Structure 1
Amino acid sequence: MSRESKKALYLLGERLIKYRWPVTILVVLVTVWFGWHASRLFMITSFGDLLPQSHPFIKIHNRYAKDFGGANNIVMMVETEEGHLFDVEKLAQIYLITEEIDKVYGVNHNQIDSIG
């Protein structure tokens, strides 16, 4: 460190000690000001905001996301031709379908809802 740098640092240290109360008050005021502004910040992260909203695929996604829960969800419907859905045979078929879906790689088991 050069002689001039040391001299400047010593001078700065002497001034800080000499004017310690005004410096302390200034630091506290600046800290309070920044803290007040930081408390008013509203942070939100949404993956959808990063997507190009004018793209046709994104428009379709936005249109149907409310009904089907988003792009990463699949909704399946099983319809019977005769009888009703709550027969033992139909429920067994639904259970087998649910089990097969659960075996697919990448499917989150905790997000599968089924009546079977």
Structure 2
Amino acid sequence: MPNKVLIVDDSRAMRCILAKIIAGLGFEVLQAGDGLQALAILGHEHSQVRLVLSDWNMPTMDGLAFVKAVRADQRFAALPIVMVTTETHIEQMIVALSAGANEYIMKPFTTEMVEDKLRMLQVVR
């Protein structure tokens, strides 16, 4: 079974862009439009999800609340989470990392930027 990556973003276009990059690295892609949908997917697929890429600004449950909810569940203690967002202030980055995000990618991004972050997290070689 292939390893799965969960992409969480309210923008369908952004999910498609990230999915193309991630699928190109050999992962199966799961998608959610907000944090609540993502939590439901994680609850069902938790043993196979190897990485989460999450937007910050989303309706229903934003990325920060999602990260906090994931980190509150011991099953996901080691699950890498990367915030992929337009939030560019250093203070926002610190908030996300303090909440439990492992890395931070600012939009707009390149394929190389995403791949570099995944290498840093040792998710890909």
The TM-score with structure 2 as length reference comes to 0.23
Larger helix percent: 1
Larger Rg: 1
The TM-score with structure 1 as length reference comes to 0.25
